[in-house]
């Protein structure tokens, strides 16, 4: 609103100048004052616009960050294990890990390791023999392969949270 009054003052000065005396020095002084007032109003408007632009940009960046975080949370919730084959199982597990923040990736990796360990231990105690499972690991089977063989059908369709819960149940 202050800018509007300044602009009105400038217009008034020009109007009075046009109606005033024939003295050139008076015209020059009025014109100089009008120019100064115009420059001040323009400077104030530029400063206000810059401040508002900066605030809007900050709010937009904040909103984008919020949307990304919510989108990532949503994606993590929809990422599920596909146990239709070993390669699908491994691929869906890798995709799930990529969606998680670092701390959650670590938890998921630890949960997978725990499930693999529990799988080997359970089979050894049920007559499969710990030595046989150790041979399986020596043959190059990964933790994911062991889990797929033992728990693939159970884990099909599970989310990261489901896997963490399953690992915690077995601990």
pLDDT tens, position by position, 85-142? 999 999 999 999 888 888 888 999 899 888 878 776 765 555 555 555 555 555 667 7
Q: What is the pTM of this model?
A: 0.51
The pLDDT, as a whole number, for residue 49 is 79
> Do 163 and 83 touch, CB atoms closer than 8 A?
no
Work out the end-to-end distance of the chain between its first and last CA atoms, rounded to an integer number of angstroms.
68
Q: Tell me the Ramachandran region of residue 157: left when phi exceeds 0, alpha when psi lies from -120 to 50, beta otherwise.
A: left
At 126, list the tokens. Answer: 């049920």
pLDDT tens, position by position, 22-61? 556 676 777 788 778 877 877 777 788 787 888 878 888 8
At 33, list the tokens. Answer: 């004052």
């Amino acid at each position: 609103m202050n800018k509007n009054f300044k602009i009105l003052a400038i217009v008034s000065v020009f109007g009075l100048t046009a109606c005033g005396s024939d003295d050139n020095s008076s015209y020059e002084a009025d014109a100089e004052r009008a120019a100064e007032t115009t420059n001040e109003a323009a400077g104030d408007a530029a400063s206000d616009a810059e401040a508002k632009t900066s605030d809007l940009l900050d709010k937009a960046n904040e909103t984008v960050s919020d949307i990304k975080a919510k989108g990532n949370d949503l994606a993590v919730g929809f990422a599920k294990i596909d146990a239709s084959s070993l390669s699908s199982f491994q691929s869906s597990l890798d995709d799930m890990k990529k969606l998680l923040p670092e701390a959650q990736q670590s938890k998921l990796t630890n949960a997978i390791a725990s499930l693999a360990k529990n799988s080997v231990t359970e089979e050894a105690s049920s007559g499969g023999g710990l030595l046989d499972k150790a041979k399986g690991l020596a043959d190059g089977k990964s933790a994911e392969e062991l889990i797929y063989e033992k728990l693939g059908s159970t884990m099909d369709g599970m989310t990261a949270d489901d896997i963490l819960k399953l690992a915690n149940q077995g601990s």
